[in-house]
Structure 1
Amino acid sequence: MRILHTADWHLGKTLEGRDRLPEQVQFIEEICEICKQEKVDLVLIAGDVFQSSNPSAAAEELFYDAIDRLSNHGTRGVVVIAGNHDNPERLCAPSPLAERLGITLIGLPKDEIRISSRGNGKRVQRIACGQSWLELVIPGCEDSAIIAALPYPSEGRLKQLITQNLLEVDMQKGYNQCIADTMARLSANYRRDTVNLAMSHIFVKGGIESGADSENKIQQVGGAYAVDPLVFPSGAQYVALGHLHRPQKIDGCIAPGRYAGSPLAYSFSEVGYRKSVTLVEALPGQEAQVREIYLSSGRPLVKWSAKEGIAQVCHWVESGLDRDAWIDVEVHITKPLTMDEIQKLRSLYTRFIHIRPVISQNGKESVLTIEEIRNLPIDKMFIRFFERYNSGLKPDDALVKLFLDLTQSADKEESVKDLEGEIA
């Protein structure tokens, strides 16, 4: 059996207001072509189909078209679970129609999956199933697949699964054990003569997160403990995971376990990561063979650091550097950019996402975060502002006192907000 694992499509997600739906159309086209070329029998989509619990009509239309095409007229299995970004009920709303094409949509851990109502042997059929698990028969495959499919298991959703005794323990400390118990219950349906798979949308210890601290291995995120890789059943031949956007293998799983990653780079913290889907070949009782297939869809995200100022940015644009990319540009300057200069930069290239000035004074770079600026005393904030606009010249004490007197008679809160914006 040939299985394609993908996740974290985030349909409808933008990049600082820039529409990325055309790029999402591209990667779905590419995934459909991979399924055709690789003769895939089963597609696993491990959560976060949508960016929002209330997706746009265009995002929903793209998803419905995608799973229809991936099902190949009902001859290829498709199993989709909800992630933390998805509305479970909304994701599963088209289930009555999806079932006719052998597509299984699972929104909540408590969802009771039903046996296929009819079949003629030419389409994918669910021949056995229960709460968050199913057995699929796929045309052309000698062996069926049993899938332990756990949608995003928040602490609240787990309460719908576990016993009263477990409800009495501290949920945060017991989270790992809850997942382990749930997976053990689901995997009790595995058999020696089937291809046994597990899938979930969850944080696992050892995974590397895309973000400000993207190289930090996850231990605890969002108040819930990341689970140990050993929670996944030893009887599984492959564990298909979603939640982390960086494609990666999870060490410590008894069975091969992977995050497929997102098919597009959705954050500048992902610069340099190659996006992919995972192809798995599995037979009952044998070790699965796993292969990463790289994707080429979508615009890359790149960072520029213009040490020589605006002139260097203009040169790069004129030379066609990163013509098709979304760009985060850092410009080194000696005084704040004027509105005219900012507009000039934006007019040069419509794909500039961020323009971040780095101001050097006396050979030293001066950069503060917004939080640091907010914590400055109002007089220090004014001094910093004055120096920026006067080539490093400091205001005298009388001028600072005059400013403080004025702020007392004006709307202080609005004045401070304006000043924060100017010196950020």
Structure 2
Amino acid sequence: MRILHTADWHFGRLLEGRDRRTEQEAFVEELCQIATEKQVDLVLIAGDIYDSVNPPAWAEELFYHALERLSDEGRRGVVVIAGNHDQPERVRAASPLATKHGIVLLGLPKETPFISEAHASIDKVRIMKAGQAWLEMAIPGVEHHAVILALPYPSEARLKELISESLSQEQMQEAFSERIKGLFDDLEGHFRDDTVNLVTSHLFAMGGSESDSERPIQIGGTHTVSLHAFPKKADYVALGHLHRLQKLSDSPLIRYSGSPLAYSFSEAGQSKAVVLIEIVPGEEKKEEIIYLQSGRPLARWKATQGIAQVEEWLAEGKDANAWIDLEIHVTDTIDPAEFQRIRKLSDQFVKVQRVRIALETEQVTEQEKREELGPVQLFCNFYERKRGTTPDDTVIQLFSRLMSVEEKESEGGRDE
């Protein structure tokens, strides 16, 4: 059985106000081509289909278009679980219709997959058995059935359980991890030696590497799940939530596929991919990382030689297809009109910031005069270096009031 693992599509997400719809549509096209060319039997989509609980209509349309293409008219299995960004009921709403096409949609933990009694053709995907958070799927042309333990984002609210009342942070983390382990322990009995045994969930597994584009699903690590929580009999554990492609364990094989697009500049330089795993019960697994080409890369430019260097890079065609976070180093303030001209040099610029670098002579002079300047003047100098312009009267007055409050509090502390 050939399984394709993907997650964290985040349809509807912007990059600093820039629409990614075209890139997301291109990803769907590329994913469907991969599924066809690699003769994929089953697709696992491990949560965060949308970027919000109320996605735009086009994002929902794109999701259903992807499902229709991937299912190949019911000849390929597709299993989708909700992530922390998704509204569970929205994800599973189309289940009665989707199941007829070999598509399983699960919104909440401990949910029982919908089974269509009318859908029993041997040349189409069939759900043979199902219960809370698990199912057994038969796929045409594949000798072995897949048993899938599917756990959508398992927050305490969605589990409808209070796990961590009156506990320390460390105890809460341990209690949550043990609860997830308990769920999988109860479900592991459905695995058999003659089936392809799979787990999919959307959570933060211990040892995973985060990026800035993920919305935290835990406070202080309290919802971190130990790798020991996952069933040892699993052939493959397909996870969602972390946006970096990464393998956490070989036995069982635990992976995050990562997001198909880079969603913050903390992911600049990262390659995006999907994971293809081929499994035959009792034989060695075959794994392939398929790198995606559909998303525009993110790049960070630090122009230490000023505006001229930026213009030179653009003329050279550097990072021609990338979204760019630009940092310009200058030795003087930039006129607002000139700053706007720089922003308009390329529509690739998502962020533009100026960093003022003092000359050596200025550094000596500033060090000598620093003690002579009052706090307001020091603040104005700092503001000018960071923003490229002087603060207005409202900002200065606000700073002065804050300084006054701090001085009063300091005097009160000394009196005590």
Instruction: State the TM-score, normalizing by the size of structure 1.
Output: 0.83
Shift of 1:203: 0.8
Cα distance in 2 for partners of 1:189, 1:382 equals: 71
Take 1:104 and 1:219, find their aligned partners in 2: how far apart are those partners?
24
Change (3 A) 1:185 1:299: same
Aligned to 1:230: 228
Is residue 311 of structure 2 the alignment partner of residue 310 of structure 1? Answer: no
Query: Which residue among 347, 352, 356 is the counterpart of 1:355?
Result: 352
**Counterpart position of 2:32:** 32
2 CA distance for matches of 1:134 and 1:381? 66
Correspondences of 1:15-54 after superposition (within 5 Å): 15-54=15-54
Residue 136 of structure 1 deviates from its aligned partner by 0.5
Matched, 1:184 2:185: yes
Q: Structure 1 305/413 Cα, relative in aligned 2: closer, same or farther at 3 Å?
A: same
**Within 1, Cα distance between the matches of 2:100 and 2:362?**
62
Residue-by-residue CA offset, 1:9-37 (whole Å, 9 max, x unaligned): 00011101100010001111111001101
Match of 1:249 in 2: 247
Mapped to 1, the partners of 2:382 and 2:258 lie a distance apart of 45
Query: 1:167 Cα shift?
Result: 7.6
The answer to whether the 8 Å contact 1:358/1:365 transfers is no
RMSD between aligned alpha carbons? Answer: 2.9
Contact 1:208 1:244 in 2 (8 A): yes
Per the TM alignment, residue 212 of structure 1 is displaced from its structure 2 partner at its CA by 9.4
For residues 290 and 87 of structure 1, do their structure 2 counterparts lie closer, same or farther at Cα, with a shift above 3 Å needed?
same
Aligned to 2:133: 132
CA distance in 2, matches of 1:193, 1:300: 42
Determine the structure 1 residue equivalent to 2:260.
Answer: 263
**CA–CA separation in structure 2 for the residues paired with 1:382 and 1:265:** 41
Identify the match of residue 378 of structure 2 among 376, 383, 395.
383
Assess, with a 3 A threshold, how the Cα gap between structure 1 residues 180 and 389 changes in structure 2: closer, same or farther: closer
Residues 168-183 of structure 1: matches in 2 within 5 Å? Answer: 170=167, 171-183=172-184
| SS of residue matched to 1:361 | coil
Q: Match for residue 155 of structure 2?
A: 154
- The 2-side partners of 1:349 and 1:415 are apart by 39
Query: What SS class does the counterpart of residue 205 from structure 2 fall into?
Result: coil
% same residue: 49
Deviation at 1:302? 0.5
Structure 2, unmatched stretches of 5+, are 364-372, 386-391, 403-416
Q: Distance in 2 between matches of 1:178 and 1:283?
A: 30
Q: Does the 8 A contact of 1:336 with 1:388 survive in 2?
A: no
Cα deviation code 1:64-116 (max 9, x no counterpart): 00011000011000000000000000111111211110100000003122333
Instruction: State the 1:358 CA deviation.
Output: 1.1
SS at match of 1:250: strand
Paired position in structure 2 for 1:370: none
Uncovered stretches (5+) of structure 1, i.e. residues with no partner = 367-377, 391-402, 418-424
Partners of 2:362 and 2:74 lie apart in 1 by 60
- Name the residue aligned to 1:274: 271
SS in 1 for 2:333: coil
1:64 matched to which residue of 2? 64
- Measure the CA separation in 2 of the matches of 1:273 and 1:159: 37
The 3 A distance-change label for structure 1 pair 326 and 144 is same
Structure-2 change in CA distance of 1:46 and 1:310 (3 Å): same
**Distance (Å, rounded) in 2 between the aligned partners of 1:299 and 1:195:** 35
Q: Contact conserved, 1:4 with 1:35, CA < 8 A, in 2?
A: yes
Name 2:115's counterpart in structure 1.
115
CA distance in 1, matches of 2:68, 2:243: 24
2:90 — aligned with what? 90
The equivalent of 2:78 in structure 1 is 78
AA paired with 1:265?
A: A
SS of residue matched to 1:284: coil
TM-score, structure 2 length as denominator? 0.85
1:380 is matched by which residue type in structure 2? P
Using a 3 Å threshold, how does the CA distance of structure 1 residues 110 and 412 change in structure 2: closer, same or farther?
A: farther
Shift of 1:173: 3.7
CA distance in 2, matches of 1:19, 1:87: 22
CA distance in 2, matches of 1:167, 1:334: 54
SS in 1 for 2:105: strand
Range moving further from structure 2, 65-74 or 353-362: 353-362
Matched residue, 1:397: none
Superposed CA offset, 1:285-325 (max 9, x none): 33422211111111110011101111111121122222211
The answer for the alignment partner of 1:142 in structure 2 is 143
Match of 1:331, SS state, is strand
Corresponding position of 2:323: 326
SS at match of 1:188: helix
Tell me, what secondary structure is at the counterpart of 1:64?
Answer: helix
Against the structure 1 CA distance between its residues 386 and 235, is the aligned structure 2 distance closer, same or farther, given a 3 Å change threshold?
Answer: closer
Classify the secondary structure of the residue corresponding to 2:29. helix
